[in-house]
Amino acid sequence: MKAIIVSTALLGALGSSALADIPTLGGPMSHLLVTLFQNEIFLTFESPSMAAVDMQDNNGTFTGSSSALNDLGYNAQFGWLANGFISLPPASGIFVRTLAMSPHLSVFEQGSFDPIFGTQDSSDTWQWDGTMIHNWYATEVHGPHYARYEVFVGDLSGNPLDGYQSGFIDLNFQYGRDLSDRIRTLGGSVQTTPTPGALSILALGGLLGSRRKPRRKH
């Protein structure tokens, strides 16, 4: 029975679009292990070497709810996973709150692709149901991105419960090459920053120009 449940969860994570256009996680799963021990949340990476992942391109042909990822770099390798048995008091749950996130990073919930964690004016706090969930991270901006979360035990309204300590975790992403330090915008046009060789030529030209003597007027 457990194998069937896990398989169903994975199918939901992959989306509901046509077979050829199903979003893939982007690589091996990187589980975020959630432990509740003596009223304190502990967060660890199941594979510490996978604390940062690469986003993948797509051809913009996802359909249905997964179309939220169209024309964006995306990844869903990070997955929340309970580390052992978690016992909570009545009328409570485990919540994840965004503390900081790259401004161009969007997050969508597994299965529904609903915006979460502040994406599209959604709440910055999301309730985790305790099952393995791989949410979707997406961006249109190349370069590094990050998200920092607080995980806490709260009441059903998302308010932290007294007597419980939060846990914290950072997720990191890389989407292609970061060219932000080589491209700048001047007067509405994009110009590339000169290479060191070009700078040397420009400097030499300026030096020669400064040594020219002014012409005498006759």
- The SS3 of residue 37 is strand
Q: What is the pLDDT of residue 182?
A: 52
Which position has the higher pLDDT, 160 or 205? 160
Count of C-beta atoms within a 10 Å radius of residue 122: 17
pLDDT at 93 exceeding the cut of 50: yes
**194: confidence class by pLDDT, cuts 50, 70, 90:** very low
Q: What is the mean pLDDT of residues 20-31?
A: 88
Rounded mean pLDDT of the chain?
Answer: 81
Residue 199 vs residue 210, higher pLDDT:
210
More confident residue, 205 or 56: 56
Contact 1, 8 (CB under 8 A): no
Residue with more model confidence, 179 or 69: 69
Q: φ, ψ for residue 194 (rounded to 5)?
A: -55, 145
pLDDT digits (tens, 9 = 90+) for 109-123: 999 999 999 999 999
Mean predicted confidence (pLDDT) in 36-65: 95
- φ, ψ dihedrals at 178, nearest 5°: -95, 110
pLDDT score for 59: 85
Q: How confident is the model at residue 159 (pLDDT cuts 50, 70, 90)?
A: very high
Q: Which of 80-94, 101-115, 126-140, 190-204 has the lowest mean pLDDT?
A: 190-204
% of the chain with per-residue pLDDT over 70: 72
Q: How far apart are the first and last CA of the chain?
A: 102
The angle subtended at Cα 213 by Cα 210 and Cα 215, nearest 5°, is 135
* Maximum C-alpha span of the chain: 102
Mean pLDDT within 61-88: 96
Q: What pLDDT is attached to residue 22?
A: 82
Q: Looking up tokens 């890389």, which residue turns up?
A: 174
What average pLDDT does this structure show over 36-48?
Answer: 97
Query: pLDDT tens digits, residue range 130-156?
Result: 999 999 999 999 999 999 999 999 999
For residue 8, what is the enclosing H or E element? helix 2-14
